[in-house]
Chain A
Amino acid sequence: MEIAYFLGCIMPNRYPGIEKATRILFDALDIELKDMDGASCCPAPGVFGSFDEETWATIAARNLTLAEDMGADIMTECNGCFGSLFEANHMLKEDEEKRAKINANLAEIGKEFKGTTNVKHLAQILRDDVGYEKLASLIEKPLDLNVAVHYGCHFLKPTAEIGIEDQAENPSILDDIVEITGAKSIDYKDKMMCCGAGGGLRARDIDVTASFTKEKLDHMTEAGVDAIIDVCPFCHMQFDQGQTEVNEKYGTDYAIPVFHLAQLYGLAMGLSAEELTLDAQKIDAAPALAKALGENAK
């Protein structure tokens, strides 16, 4: 099996440990991740989608054509990229009028959207294409961690279009995948709430974004977790860097380490904090790592 690997912006350009972990994970799963040479920003649904639908769809369609030319489906591990690419792919497959308009634009750079690729999320592939049994066979160091799973918004929703089998308001896909590593998913208040970064809000009004994030952190703290697990580098950045911003604005001292799902699997497969670039994140992961691997370190 091979798949076109869409990197996006924040993962390769801020948290490369997520990319590294994903490449090692998929090596172990015997799935070839093929680079989409020349791919760009998805582009961000909340920003480009909010400014000019045509530009958003045109740039997204260009990315989609790269995978079409490779004859492969696309995998992304960013909810924003997933939302953008899935939505554009869906729209252009369904709406002939818009497709004609976008293809007229793409013709100027010698490309054409054909509608021959599918856009999939990392977690969706792990559950539906890989399977939990195979995932479990990869675990070398079961992790002793209580974690708050954060789904993010553009993964399962809007359910009417996305069609990943689960419930948007009470899902289980991520909790199931996380618990295979030995970590325990702890329920917490308003678990499905947004991190606050999306829709261009972080860029425009960081105070409001921080207020969202603080509410999430409050609830996670009440539940007593060792770490936050996400499947979106933008949420990841918001919980990591944003956590320090919350502390500055509110005088709090939150210090909950943040792991992308791929990083969590990297840990369970025995990768070091350095390989996962956890040592470069704003929130110190060392306490959680000590707990997670404590028994195995003996």
Chain B
Amino acid sequence: MSIIDRLKSLFSEEKDMEEKNIADKKSDDVGAKPSNLDDAIVSGTKTSVPISDVLKKDEDAASEVTFKKDVSSIEEQRVEEDLPIIEEDEPSNDEEIPKEEEEESDVEEVQEIQSAEDAAVEDDDETSEIEEDVPVEESLDVEENTSSQEEDVNTDDEEESAEKADDEENNQNKDEKRDNMTLLTDKELLTDANRDPEFTAEFIDAGIETVKHCFQCGTCGGGCPSGRRTPYKVRQIVRKCLLGLKEEVITDDALWMCTTCYTCQERCPRSVKIVEIIKKARNVAAHAGYMAKPHKMTGVFVINTGHAVPINDAAKSLRTKIGLSEVPATTHADAAALEEVKKLCKITAFDELIGYDEATGGLKE
């Protein structure tokens, strides 16, 4: 049980930090200081501050920074190094102290939560505004910075030279070093023309608002058993869904490499309903005609028998041998029930979706 407590405390630490970041961001809006480092950490995409600065500071803060454990030391270090932030951090540091005195803490917490919620609302608004105002290229550029810096973190020389280099050289370096983990390349810059806002809206309309909460940390991909062996990159897909890159998402075979095991969703620090996003994206893909024949055939089995895996002779004889009914008391033994299933598949146009041919009981073509 101590492990659970430990985890809980780690998560709450993380949450505290998250809330502070949001609070910082909020005050930052007022103070009009667009290059705040915390922005870069939270959204990861919306500023032009080199991530190397952020990473370097973290490295300086503790030579062996582990991501979660040393949150507090990073926090302290930032206070020391970053004078402008001290003023903003102090109030939230103060807030932490009363938490230890349990009597007052409830009120404090409620206020804190309230302000975090307000900030979150503003955060959303701000995000959408920025997405309209700022050309897409800019936000994507930064994302490339992020990934190239991820590669560079451990090599100080490269990092320094990268900092000195001007933007264009920097980009060229990145092109050479880039592997296929990167979402986009400079040669394939995307503009608003590539985006389909209606695609993004499909997720929101389906109740998966959490698609907007993703800050691209990569925890999902890190735990993904499919990503270890296939081109399935769940973090990228979530990002593409949010940006509205419909064609890229639905034409990619890798979308179908997810086993819906929920590891990503369980571990997501932002509680993004990742599996729902994947299934929704697959729905859009299926309706656009991207559906594998074996999948269509599973649908055919259900329309014809009510079962995705229908009974066969071997199973019938096994059932009889051990004293079960020859066929189970399902649609296999109930023609009227099977008709109901068929009718429902017609009502929802599932038969058309998979190209079911009623005359042959198979697929059209």
In the complex, the answer to whether B294 meets A40 with C-beta atoms within 8 Å is: no
In the complex, the answer to whether B348 meets A105 with C-beta atoms within 8 Å is: yes
Q: CA A29 – CA B77 in complex, angstroms?
A: 62
**Which residues of B, 258-278, contact A by the 8 Å Cβ criterion?**
258-263, 265-267, 271, 273, 275
Asked if A45 CB lies within 8 Å of chain B CBs, one says yes
Chain B contacts for A203, CB-based, 8 A: 292, 294-295, 297-298
Asked if A168 CB lies within 8 Å of chain B CBs, one says yes
Asked if A153 CB lies within 8 Å of chain B CBs, one says yes
In the complex, the answer to whether A54 meets B331 with C-beta atoms within 8 Å is: no
Q: CA A95 – CA B341 in complex, angstroms?
A: 23
Secondary structure dominating the interface of B: helix
Asked if A293 CB lies within 8 Å of chain B CBs, one says no
In the complex, the answer to whether A53 meets B279 with C-beta atoms within 8 Å is: yes
Known: A12-B330, A46-B259, A153-B261. A204 touches B292 (CB 8 A): yes
Q: CA A105 – CA B344 in complex, angstroms?
A: 7
Asked if A242 CB lies within 8 Å of chain B CBs, one says no
Residue B322 contacts which of A13, A20, A153, A209 (CB distance < 8 angstroms)? A20
Asked if B134 CB lies within 8 Å of chain A CBs, one says no
**Which residues of B, 314-361, contact A by the 8 Å Cβ criterion?**
314-315, 318-319, 321-324, 328-334, 336-338, 340-341, 343-345, 347-348, 350, 353-354
Q: CA A106 – CA B343 in complex, angstroms?
A: 10
In the complex, the answer to whether B256 meets A55 with C-beta atoms within 8 Å is: no
Asked if B183 CB lies within 8 Å of chain A CBs, one says no
Asked if A257 CB lies within 8 Å of chain B CBs, one says no
Residue A40 contacts which of B261, B286, B306 (CB distance < 8 angstroms)? B306
Q: CA A274 – CA B318 in complex, angstroms?
A: 9
Q: CA A161 – CA B338 in complex, angstroms?
A: 31
Q: Looking across the interface, which residue of chain A has its beta carbon closest to that of B228?
A: A215
Asked if A126 CB lies within 8 Å of chain B CBs, one says no
Q: CA A231 – CA B168 in complex, angstroms?
A: 56
Q: CA A168 – CA B261 in complex, angstroms?
A: 11
In the complex, the answer to whether A168 meets B266 with C-beta atoms within 8 Å is: yes
Size of the B side of the interface (Cβ < 8 Å), in residues, is: 71
In the complex, the answer to whether A211 meets B229 with C-beta atoms within 8 Å is: yes
Q: CA A41 – CA B309 in complex, angstroms?
A: 8
Asked if A197 CB lies within 8 Å of chain B CBs, one says yes
Chain A contacts for B309, CB-based, 8 A: 9-10, 13-14, 41
Most B CB contacts (10 A, CB to CB) among A62, A158, A198, A199 go to: A199
Q: CA A196 – CA B345 in complex, angstroms?
A: 28
Q: Looking across the interface, which residue of chain B has its beta carbon closest to that of A193?
A: B225
Q: Looking across the interface, which residue of chain A has its beta carbon closest to that of B323?
A: A20
In the complex, the answer to whether B319 meets A12 with C-beta atoms within 8 Å is: yes
Q: Looking across the interface, which residue of chain A has its beta carbon closest to that of B306?
A: A40
Write the nearest CB–CB distance from A86 to chain B, whole angstroms: 13
Q: Looking across the interface, which residue of chain A has its beta carbon closest to that of B232?
A: A208
Chain B contacts for A295, CB-based, 8 A: none
Chain A contacts for B259, CB-based, 8 A: 46, 153, 194, 196-199, 201, 209, 212
In the complex, the answer to whether A170 meets B3 with C-beta atoms within 8 Å is: yes
- Residue interface bits A39-60, CB-to-B below 8 A is 1, else 0: 1110111111111111100110
Write the nearest CB–CB distance from B328 to chain A, whole angstroms: 4
In the complex, the answer to whether A198 meets B261 with C-beta atoms within 8 Å is: yes
In the complex, the answer to whether A108 meets B260 with C-beta atoms within 8 Å is: no
Chain B contacts for A41, CB-based, 8 A: 302, 306-309
Asked if A226 CB lies within 8 Å of chain B CBs, one says no
Known: A105-B344, A159-B266, A208-B257. A44 touches B230 (CB 8 A): no
In the complex, the answer to whether B322 meets A275 with C-beta atoms within 8 Å is: yes
Asked if B310 CB lies within 8 Å of chain A CBs, one says yes
Write the nearest CB–CB distance from A241 to chain B, whole angstroms: 12
Known: A37-B337, A58-B348, A212-B225. A157 touches B299 (CB 8 A): no
In the complex, the answer to whether A37 meets B329 with C-beta atoms within 8 Å is: yes
Write the nearest CB–CB distance from A49 to chain B, whole angstroms: 5
In the complex, the answer to whether A201 meets B256 with C-beta atoms within 8 Å is: yes
Q: CA A55 – CA B330 in complex, angstroms?
A: 19
Q: List 16 A-B contacts (CB under 8 A).
A: A9-B308, A13-B312, A13-B328, A20-B322, A36-B329, A39-B329, A40-B307, A52-B283, A52-B350, A59-B345, A62-B344, A108-B343, A193-B225, A196-B259, A201-B257, A212-B225
- Which residues of B does A touch, CB under 8 Å? 3-4, 206-207, 225-226, 229-230, 256-263, 265-267, 271, 273, 275, 279-280, 282-283, 286-287, 291-292, 294-295, 297-299, 302, 306-312, 314-315, 318-319, 321-324, 328-334, 336-338, 340-341, 343-345, 347-348, 350, 353-354
- Other A-B pairs, 6, CB within 8 Å; known A194-B261, A280-B318: A37-B330, A50-B286, A51-B299, A193-B261, A199-B261, A203-B298
